Structure 1
Amino acid sequence: MLNKVIVVVVDGMRYDKAFDALGYVQHLVETNQAALYKVKSELPSLSRPLYEVLLTGTPASMNGITSNQTVRLSNEKSIFHLTKENGLRNASAAYYWVSELYNRAPFNFIEDRIQEDMSKPIQSGLFYWEDDYPDSHLLMDAEALRRKHDPHFLYIHPMGVDVKGENYGSESKEYREQILKMGSLLAQLLPIWMKSGYHILITSDHGMSEYGNHGGITDGERDVPLFVISPRIETGIHGETIPQLAFAPLVCELLSIEPSDKMISYKFPGLKEAVTL
């Protein structure tokens, strides 16, 4: 098994709607090829603060990324930093706020769209800034990065579900249809990634309210899924709700690198001991 990880963060995808609409991913759970957890997002349940949570394992009160308007480089050590320090390759196809957190802020729309710089925390990147940039294009951007650079850590961040949720609300036909589309796109790529031996994690930063917003404390805004496809994780649906701060150290564990000293120590339910040869 390779120590390579693909993370897909489907922006704005709440747990209950993902549970109902991600048909192929749920097929993998039903056939004991994947695991499903419910994750409780950190607060505030907003995008930029939670990108930082997912990638550094630190809360907003520690890292200072407290709102979507906090436009600066992170002061924390992210998974991108850690992979680079450990001699691993990383890449990201994501919304431009991810680049602003780890490579350069503010984002330069001419110079920062395509990035290839091994000295930067994110070594290879394709970034978009139109919120309605098609999820299909973004996932193919990511697959192009994977095939070109063979990264040990690939971070993928589509925005389409969040856009439909904010425009129409979580109970709308449009929101559900976008999650169904995401499921179809993942169904095309997951067999390729699985055959290539990746650990695959599919989650979200935050959920969505029926009113088309997020940032508060309701379950709809905070509860997000975590699907894991990995021989290191016991398959099936797990009952324990996971703190979002546990995500980054789990990724480090699957990459076989040490987490940062600010990441929490958490006994992840269903995690098996690594097999040493």
Structure 2
Amino acid sequence: MSIISGKVIMVVLDGLRYDTARTQMGYMNHMVEAGKAACCRVWSELPSLSRPLYEVLLTGTPSSVNGITSNQTVRLSTQTSVFHLAREQGLRTAAAAYYWVSELYNRAPFDPIEDREQHDESRAIQHGKFYYDDSYPDSHLFADAELLRRRENPDFLYIHPMGIDDAGHRYGADSKEYRGKAIMADALLANLAPGWLELGYRVIVTSDHGMNADGQHGGTGVEEREVPLYIMGTAGVKPGYYEERVPQLAVAPLACRLLGLQPSAAMAALRFPGVAYDEESEGDA
């Protein structure tokens, strides 16, 4: 197996553009400059919409294969996600995320009362706290996630705040409000990530899609498709900035490799330049 396996925290900052991450997120970029993180450009799949790209990030399959083609496609995923693979191998899974993630991997449609908090070892996401208001504060969401981490000790924790995306839709990507939410997310990571890293977690920070100046996404523009991916952790990470664009389909198999899991047969054999693979994996990762 390539890469030393361990626990992984995956943070998806909804709606975060690559250029905004590079110019506004001081802590994350400090970690790169300090030789403690890698930063890659990721080219999102189409359509550059949230629900389809949640499925891309967690199953490594495009919309033409998985059938999640719009935000209005409300049903369980038919693909094997990172959550499924982890649970099948006896790992613990958890998520603090927007309710569409629950609808994809636990139960659809979402019941705001019954499904707000979930604890069921038989489900793909065994422990979850899900919100359904786009303006739910990122500070609360990160607190939800950290409580899950402390109480449930997951091997794979998925964290998905909506503040950046919400500000982008309200004010556009070229606004102080949008940039301010990116700065706030960076500060929340600065408070929590050092503790995660000290405990030996590998941390992936990325986004589903970007945002244009009109406060929209869904199309083919660079501002809608180019998003960051930061990788932090002592094992298997090659620090630095990597300018080549990596297909978003590579994110799910990366999470699998970091967890010590074999990617599903549907996941593409792609790899990130900021990750060290051993000789065994040179031909298949």
Post-superposition offset of 1:92: 0.1
Residue of structure 2 in register with 1:187 after alignment: 190
Residue of structure 2 in register with 1:43 after alignment: 46
Residue of structure 2 in register with 1:254 after alignment: 258
1:116 to 116, 119, 127: 119
* Aligned residue type for 2:244: E
Task: Check whether the contact 1:42–1:53 (CA below 8 A) recurs between aligned residues.
Answer: yes
Post-superposition offset of 1:266: 1.3
Residue of structure 2 in register with 1:99 after alignment: 102
Residue of structure 1 in register with 2:179 after alignment: 176
Measured in 2, the distance between the counterparts of 1:202 and 1:189 equals 13
- 1:196 matched to 2:165? The reply is no
Measured in 1, the distance between the counterparts of 2:274 and 2:212 equals 30
Secondary structure at the aligned position of 2:224 is classed as helix
Measured in 2, the distance between the counterparts of 1:164 and 1:35 equals 27
Structure 1, unaligned stretches of length 5 or more? Answer: none
Residue of structure 2 in register with 1:16 after alignment: 19
Tell me the number of residue pairs that the alignment of Structure 1 and Structure 2 aligns: 276
Deviations 1:124-151 (A, max 9, x none): 0000000000000000100000000110
Measured in 2, the distance between the counterparts of 1:268 and 1:9 equals 17
Measured in 1, the distance between the counterparts of 2:184 and 2:160 equals 15
Task: For 1:1-277, list aligned pairs within 5 A.
Answer: 3-230=6-233, 231-273=235-277
Deviations 1:65-106 (A, max 9, x none): 000000000000000100000110010000000000000000
Change (3 A) 1:89 1:275: farther
Task: Check whether the contact 1:2–1:197 (CA below 8 A) recurs between aligned residues.
Answer: no
Post-superposition offset of 1:275: 10
* Aligned residue type for 1:129: Y
Post-superposition offset of 1:268: 2.5
Measured in 2, the distance between the counterparts of 1:50 and 1:174 equals 24
Measured in 2, the distance between the counterparts of 1:269 and 1:12 equals 23
Measured in 2, the distance between the counterparts of 1:106 and 1:267 equals 34
Structure 2, unaligned stretches of length 5 or more? Answer: 281-285
* Aligned residue type for 1:250: L
Post-superposition offset of 1:21: 0.7
Secondary structure at the aligned position of 2:112 is classed as coil
- In the TM superposition, structure 1's runs of 4+ consecutive aligned residues that sit over 4 Å from their partners are none
* Aligned residue type for 2:252: A
TM-score, normalised via structure 1 length? 0.98
Task: Check whether the contact 2:39–2:274 (CA below 8 A) recurs between aligned residues.
Answer: no
